[in-house]
Amino acid sequence: MTGSTALLLSLALAVPGLAVAADATAPPPAATPLPPVSVVATGPIPSPDQVMAIPPALLALLHARVITPSLSREQRLQRLITLIFDAQGMNLGYDADATLTVAETWETRRANCLAFTLLFVSLAREAGIDAHVQEVNQVVSWYQDQGVIYSVGHVNAGVNLGGRSAVVDLDRNVLYDREGPRQITRERALAHFYNNRGAARMAAGDLVLARAYFRQSLQMSPEFASGWNNLGVLDTREGRLQAAVVDFRSALRYAPQHAAALSNASTLYTRMGDTREAERLSRRLALVHCRDPFVQYMLGADAEKKQDYAQAIRYYKRAVRLYEEAHQFHFGLARAYFMVGDTQHAGEEMQRARALGGDALQQRYQAKLDSLNRWRLQNVQAR
């Protein structure tokens, strides 16, 4: 049986766009969002080597376009990115559901953040570039058509260029948590892959294959809390409640502040009639949320959307206290102050956002600050 309360899956996700943070490298073209199609394989589970294998046609293209002895590693990196997104190359497009092997990505020309990262790292290593998969616990992303997205779990690629480092990320408008990206093993990266595929099969109703994928994910990385959480969701849906208890406990043993596992476990104990344990886990979750600047920011954004600006200010101020260096949080606070008529504090927060935003954003924030100052001056003169 399936409980009526929604359970939270743990996935590695991202939104469209590409960013490369490195010394003197220009941003490459953005990945084009594509209409969703069914690109998730339903056959046998691919082996780790099959996930990462470069198909012969792509390998030939890589040698022809990227692997040239006279090129430096920086030049090969730039050529590789162009190859992936250029119309005469792979012409890769973004698809949130496309957790694909390297060969499937080549065949479909679609990828989400995880599939892109696996593709990029495989090709980069073949081209003699020191690349690896990186993991970020939490991100907040901004994009125009859907607003603000809060994601638990994100991956990108890290590159070492002779003492310098670069980050290649399919999401160009992303704020990492304070820990930032950290290098992970091949096994951990593959755990993400199998976990995502399992979630896709579970959503499609193929629970047998979903379980096989989750088991493969945990075989690759037994301490992968997101894999345990998703297995717990599956066990709950199938009415295997005691097994789900073990799954969620495993997730919380490896990641005590895993919000999805805390929420799912609390819901499960409520369903089993253990309200005391459910309330204990609910309090733990509330404490995690209270200490999470991203959650506070998202609550502020929600209050702002509802035009409850006083509440938005309270949440944004908490987010700023928890993560002072995030210029986006200061900008949100500035907007809320402006909407309640507090132009002095709005200007102060805009100045902080400008100072923290870096060269690329300083001009944009300065223009907003100038507009605010003109508006303030006009109101003073009108009195």
pLDDT at 15: 38
Structure pTM?
A: 0.84
Structure tokens at 96: 């949130």
229 and 131 inside one domain: no
CA atoms within 13 A on the CB side of 87: 0
DSSP 234-270: HHHHTT-HHHHHHHHHHHHHH-TT-HHHHHHHHHHHH
pLDDT score of 371: 76
Eight-state DSSP code of residue 323: -
For the chain, the domain total comes to 3
- Structural domain contains residue 203: no
Instruction: Look at residue 109 and tell me if it is in a domain.
Output: yes
Q: Which residues contact 215 (CB under 8 A, 6 or more apart)?
A: 231
Its domain, for residue 246, covers 222-291
Handedness of CA 301, 291, 6, 271 (dihedral sign): negative
pLDDT of residue 150: 63
pLDDT at 213: 98
User: Mean pLDDT, 10 residues at a time, over the chain (383 residues)?
Assistant: 52 47 34 46 86 97 91 92 93 93 97 96 97 91 59 87 88 83 97 96 96 98 97 97 98 96 97 98 97 95 95 98 94 93 91 84 73 66 56
CB 264 within 8 A of CB 245: no
Residue 141 to residue 297: CA distance in whole angstroms: 12
281 and 303 part of one domain:
no
Backbone angles phi, psi at 156, to 5 degrees: -150, -175
Based on the fold, state whether residues 281 and 344 are members of the same structural domain.
no
